[in-house]
Amino acid sequence: MKVYLLLIVLTAVFCGACSHPAKPPKKGYVLSIDQYSIGQARDSILDGKQYKFLWVAAELSNFSSDTLKYMAMSCSWDVIFTFNKKTTFIRGWNCDSNFPTFSEIAPQKSFTYKIPVLVEKNAITSNYTFKIGMYLFKYREHGGFREFDNFLDSRFGISPHSNKTVYKNIIWSNEVTIPQP
């Protein structure tokens, strides 16, 4: 009888330990970077200035129950990204054909952007960290292109549109550190 009672008590203790609430599931849209997927930074020179170059995989995840449709550019999709430090930016590229378009991510799915990142070499310390931000403009039947056009104008200084809406549409990644040799 004591053995059965002991088994019941131990089972209750172990099952109780297993029933602690887990972390709540993520909701909405999340931009994340896997620290361990960042390769070693390489020396680079651009316009006579020294940089460290590295590839960063930024994953945009849709944890909502609806398909995410968002605005981007057909070629220069890098314009929808920014950084929390002025010494870090994306190495752009030339585009022969570039126009606003939209991208889709199904519910509970992700898309990974491979981002070519440049960091001013003299700014790098032994624990240089940064975050990537994404300007998320959800596609809408009416008015979505106008808001995105205003964003592009403010981003490139084409016209004096207000960029107040830009900052309310930004989502930030987790903070990552540039791997040291």
List the one residue out of 173, 60, 55 whose CA is nearest residue 116. Answer: 55
Give first-to-last CA distance, the chain, whole Å.
Answer: 63
> Domain segments of the chain: what residues?
24-135+171-177
Q: Is 17 helix (H, G, I), strand (E, B) or coil?
A: helix
pLDDT in tens, 31-74: 999 998 888 888 999 889 999 999 999 999 999 999 999 888 77
Question: In this structure, how many other beta carbons lie within 10 angstroms of the beta carbon of residue 135?
Answer: 23
Does the pTM of the predicted model rise above 0.85? no
Residues of the chain with pLDDT > 90, as a percent, come to: 32
CATH 2.60.40 fits 24-135+171-177, yes or no: yes
